[in-house]
């Protein structure tokens, strides 16, 4: 396996661990905006009956999974993979094929990517 | 920082939707120059990593928490135009699948985090980098400062939007003080995470850090030329 691929896989593993396991230990306090909205008095202007997609992962839980750790972990892993899929697909489609980006230093040969 | 449905009125939400659409449209064209066979998978990874990072709320006192926004981090790692797309994808996944951030507020959230967060974070990064020694060691420091400023900047723009189109009748000054104050503290967390992650990537793959291009390494590194 190339060093480049190893690096990408290691990064993905970290992201999956952070979202799938680490998120359980995250603070459950309201975030800055929610807190300020509550303190200064506009939290009630939130429309809780707004449009919904009916996703099984709403509020970072998994519908039908009762165990909190598992429910949040599955949602986190799903979110990371969905982001990777949509983002990766988009960037793969946008990239300049078979060469380096134009702003890469000219010392870098255009064939570097093929070395993988 | 994710704005839910209802905080801002319809005209303001439509206006930020237009700003977001134009911003993402420009980024889609400009990002092509930043993306190649090597950086495209890295950009996908950065988006996935920011999604994960945004799940980790850290306490900042008084029953409040904050989490990574990731705009400055993504901009330093993969370039500002690609970063705008990275954060937009994260917000899209959060809005569509996690019910985090209102669907009618998606344009607002893209404007605040993917456009303002990235633009301010990257601009401050470039400014700081210009005055620091031209070594790789300056990159995480400049990235952290960009991250630090990007969070209260996004909070300020939210307050401006709230002053224009907030649905609740709350004095703008009160909201501004609280938003900027708390998000300055959250910005410190953003700076720490951004500095550490940029350092970690620089340590293993300096060639993959967009913001480090053209900078001399402190110690001899295997350059891509030698490797190829």
Work out the mean pLDDT of chain B and round it to a whole number. Answer: 94
Q: What is the pLDDT of residue B111?
A: 98
| Dist. CA B189–CA B90, nearest whole Å | 19
Residue A112 clears pLDDT 60, i.e. is over it: no
CA-nearest residue of chain A to B30? A94
| Dist. CA B28–CA B120, nearest whole Å | 19
Residue B99 at interface with chain A, using a CB cutoff of 8 Å: yes
Q: What is the pLDDT of residues A64-104, one digit of tens each?
A: 999 999 999 999 999 999 999 999 999 999 998 865 544 44
Tell me whether residues A53 and B31 touch, CB distance under 8 A: no
Model pTM?
Answer: 0.91
Residue B22 clears pLDDT 50, i.e. is over it: yes
Residue A11 clears pLDDT 60, i.e. is over it: yes
Residue A54 at interface with chain B, using a CB cutoff of 8 Å: no
**Chain A residues closer than 8 Å to B45 by CB:** 8, 11-12, 15, 84, 88
| Dist. CA A40–CA A36, nearest whole Å | 6
A91 and B35 Cβ atoms separated by less than 8 Å: yes
CA-nearest residue of chain A to B44? A88
Q: From the CA of A33, how many Å to the nearest CA of chain B? A: 5
Separation of CA A6 from chain center:
19
Q: What is the pLDDT of residues A13-43, one digit of tens each?
A: 999 999 999 999 999 999 999 999 999 999 9
Instruction: Give every CB contact of residue B220 below 8 A, 6+ residues apart in sequence.
Output: none
ipTM of the complex: 0.91
Q: How confident is the model at residue B220 (pLDDT cuts 50, 70, 90)?
A: low
B186 and A32 Cβ atoms separated by less than 8 Å: yes
Query: Which domains does chain B show, CATH number per domain?
Result: 10-227 (1.10.1760.20)
**Chain B residues closer than 8 Å to A1 by CB:** none
Tell me whether residues A76 and B55 touch, CB distance under 8 A: yes
């Amino acid at each position: 396996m190339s060093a480049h691929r190893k690096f990408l896989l290691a990064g993905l593993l970290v992201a999956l661990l952070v979202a799938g396991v680490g998120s359980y230990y995250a603070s459950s306090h309201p975030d800055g905006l929610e807190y300020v909205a509550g303190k200064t008095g506009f939290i009630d202007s939130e429309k809780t009956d707004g449009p919904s997609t009916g996703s099984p992962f709403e509020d970072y839980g998994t519908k039908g999974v009762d165990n909190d750790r598992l429910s949040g972990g599955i949602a986190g892993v799903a979110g990371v993979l969905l982001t990777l899929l949509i983002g990766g697909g988009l960037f793969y489609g946008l990239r300049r094929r078979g060469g380096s980006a134009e702003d890469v230093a000219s010392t870098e040969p255009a064939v570097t990517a093929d070395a993988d | 920082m994710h704005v839910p449905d209802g905080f801002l009125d319809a005209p303001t939400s439509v206006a930020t939707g237009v700003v977001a659409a134009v911003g993402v449209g420009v980024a889609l064209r400009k990002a092509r120059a930043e993306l190649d066979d090597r950086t495209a998978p890295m950009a996908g990874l950065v988006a996935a990593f920011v999604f994960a990072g945004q799940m980790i709320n850290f306490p900042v006192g008084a029953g409040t928490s904050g989490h990574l926004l990731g705009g400055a981090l993504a901009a330093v790692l993969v370039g500002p135009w690609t970063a705008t797309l990275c954060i937009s994808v994260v917000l899209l996944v959060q809005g569509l699948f996690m019910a985090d951030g209102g669907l009618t507020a998606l344009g607002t959230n893209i404007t605040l985090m993917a456009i303002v967060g990235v633009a301010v974070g990257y601009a401050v990064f470039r400014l700081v980098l210009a005055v620091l020694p031209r070594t790789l060691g300056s990159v995480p420091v400049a990235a952290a400062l960009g991250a630090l400023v990007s969070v209260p900047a996004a909070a300020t723009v939210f307050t401006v939007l709230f002053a224009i189109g907030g649905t609740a009748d709350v004095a703008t000054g009160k909201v501004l003080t609280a938003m900027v104050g708390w998000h300055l503290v959250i910005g410190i967390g953003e700076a720490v995470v951004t500095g550490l992650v940029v350092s970690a990537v620089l340590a293993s793959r300096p060639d993959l850090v967009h913001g480090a291009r053209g900078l001399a390494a402190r110690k001899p590194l295997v350059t891509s030329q030698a490797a190829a």
